[in-house]
Amino acid sequence: MRILVTGGAGYIGSHTVVALLERGHDVVVADDFSNARPAVLDRVAELAGRRAALEVVDLTDAGRTDAVVAAAAPDAVVHFAGRKAVGESAERPLDYYRTNLDSTFSLLAAMERHGVRRLVYSSSATVYGDHAPVPYVETYEPLAAASPYGRTKVMTEQVLADVAAATPGLRVALLRYFNPVGAHPSGRMGEDPQGVPNNLMPYVAQVAVGRRERLAIFGDDYDTPDGTCLRDYVHVLDLAEGHVAALEHLDTMATPVRAFNLGAGRGTSVRELFDAFCAVVGRPLPHEVVARRPGDLPAYWADTTRAAEELGWRARRTIDDMVADTWRWQQANPEGYPA
Ligand code: UD1
């Protein structure tokens, strides 16, 4: 297939582009580099043995998006592009609603105009909100989210359901990621957050490489085995393979729009992840326990039955793989990708 990947220069996008190229698909990346470096596409080419084509485009520009979709003439679109920082979304909600919704509107209009009928969308476990029982199952309703970022994911899922209901032949996979971590095992690609990392794994990695003084563990008085929060960490290569599987199953899905949890299906605590990182680095890393971070849930993980049964996908890589690959990437690229 010929696949248009929006946000293909980002963390999950770039790993997915490698997986798609390796699988024999042709790829056009659409990215505005607002949170990614162009150098990532050289690494993609190096690993996959051939290049993805590139369109530098801001998808909120409907006219440009239409031209990109027309020129790419894709068989399918994988839509990663969007803003994703929970805290920032509370400070700048309008930016988040405008960017994440408008870009999807442009893309859907262009897909309709040019007859593109397959879409894989980057959703998030955050759509299960504060009240869903664990493990999270795809059939849970009503979806809710505690941040403007999360609400853009809920809203986009709803928009996609409505548009698909009105568009014969449109097939949409909603991939709900749990906590993506890890890096390409080559050490050539990984997560490269701009500024201070918001998420646990990149923060620990930057402590290990000396860019940050110490990890702050946000609370150890939760009702969990060791008092720290449990999350479902999933290796970015497993996620990338999940996108390939979803694309290849779009035409045979049980319903035209279908959600799939992409997680490992088990909870790992902040302390377990941190200890695993210290073990791979070979020394204790500086840390302190501080107050809980507002909004954090104590524990959640995925029920992964549907992805296993319907996509034939399951996460194969372990926590040790996740920390080892992250550390290899961070050591080889202490400042991330070259500017
Ligand atoms: C967040 C987002 C989620 C997004 C995910 C990306 C919410 C509420 N959160 O998940 O949508 O998909 O990032 O991976 O929507 N922690 C520390 N110290 C730190 C950083 C984190 O102790 O410096 C703890 C947190 O309290 C949490 C765990 O580590 O218990 C994981 O945090 P984080 O990596 O930020 O991910 P989430 O908040 O689970």
Residues 208 and 240 in one domain: no
Q: Is residue 194 part of a domain?
A: no
Q: Is residue 26 part of a domain?
A: yes
Residues 283 and 167 in one domain: no
Residues 173 and 25 in one domain: yes
Report pLDDT for 41: 98
Report pLDDT for 204: 98
The response to whether residue 175 sits with its C-beta less than 6 Å from ligand 1 reads no
Report pLDDT for 187: 98
The CA–CA distances, whole Å, from 110 to 36, 71, 278 equal 24, 11, 48
Cross-strand bridge partners of residue 261: 176
Q: Is residue 44 part of a domain?
A: yes
> Of 309, 243, 315, whose CA–CA distance to 25 is shortest?
243
Report pLDDT for 269: 98
Establish whether 96 is a catalytic residue. no
Any idea what the CATH number is for the domain that residue 43 is in?
Answer: 3.40.50.720
Q: Whose CA is nearest to atom 25 of ligand 1?
A: 218
* Residue 137 belongs to domain spanning: 2-181+233-263
Residues 255 and 323 in one domain: no
Structural domains of the chain, count:
2
Any idea what the CATH number is for the domain that residue 275 is in?
Answer: 3.90.25.10
Measured in whole angstroms, the distance separating CA 103 from the mean position of its chain's CA atoms is 17
Q: Is residue 313 part of a domain?
A: no
How far does the centroid of ligand 1 lie from the alpha carbon of residue 199, in Å? 5
Residues 237 and 88 in one domain: yes
Q: Is residue 193 part of a domain?
A: no
For residue 228, give the ligand 1 atom closest to its CA: 30
Q: Are 319 and 276 in contact (CB under 8 A)?
A: yes
For the four alpha carbons of 204, 206, 210 and 216, in that order, the dihedral sign comes to negative
* 131 exposure class (CB count in 10 Å sphere: 0-12, 13-18, 19+): exposed
Residue 21: partners with Cβ closer than 8 Å, 6 or more residues away: 27, 44, 48, 49, 50, 52
Residues 125 and 152 in one domain: yes
Q: Is residue 338 part of a domain?
A: no
Residues 119 and 255 in one domain: yes
Q: Is residue 123 part of a domain?
A: yes
Residues 62 and 105 in one domain: yes
Report pLDDT for 154: 98
Residues 246 and 301 in one domain: no
Cross-strand bridge partners of residue 121: 79, 174
How far does the centroid of ligand 1 lie from the alpha carbon of residue 77, in Å? 28
- In three-state secondary structure terms, 16 is helix
Q: Is residue 189 part of a domain?
A: no
Q: Are 274 and 238 in contact (CB under 8 A)?
A: no
In this structure, the number of other CB atoms found within 10 A of the CB of residue 203 comes to 19
Residues 177 and 206 in one domain: no
Q: Which of 121, 136, 149, 233 is catalytic?
A: 149
Taking the model in full, what pTM does it have?
0.98
Residues 109 and 216 in one domain: no
Report pLDDT for 110: 98
Residues 15 and 66 in one domain: yes
Q: What is the pLDDT along the chain (339 residues), one digit of tens a residue?
A: 999 999 999 999 999 999 999 999 999 999 999 999 999 999 999 999 999 999 999 999 999 999 999 999 999 999 999 999 999 999 999 999 999 999 999 999 999 999 999 999 999 999 999 999 999 999 999 999 999 999 999 999 999 999 999 999 999 999 999 999 999 999 999 999 999 999 999 999 999 999 999 999 999 999 999 999 999 999 999 999 999 999 999 999 999 999 999 999 999 999 999 999 999 999 999 999 999 999 999 999 999 999 999 999 999 999 999 999 999 999 999 999 998
How far is 4 from 117, CA to CA, in rounded Å?
12
Q: How many residues does the chain have?
A: 339
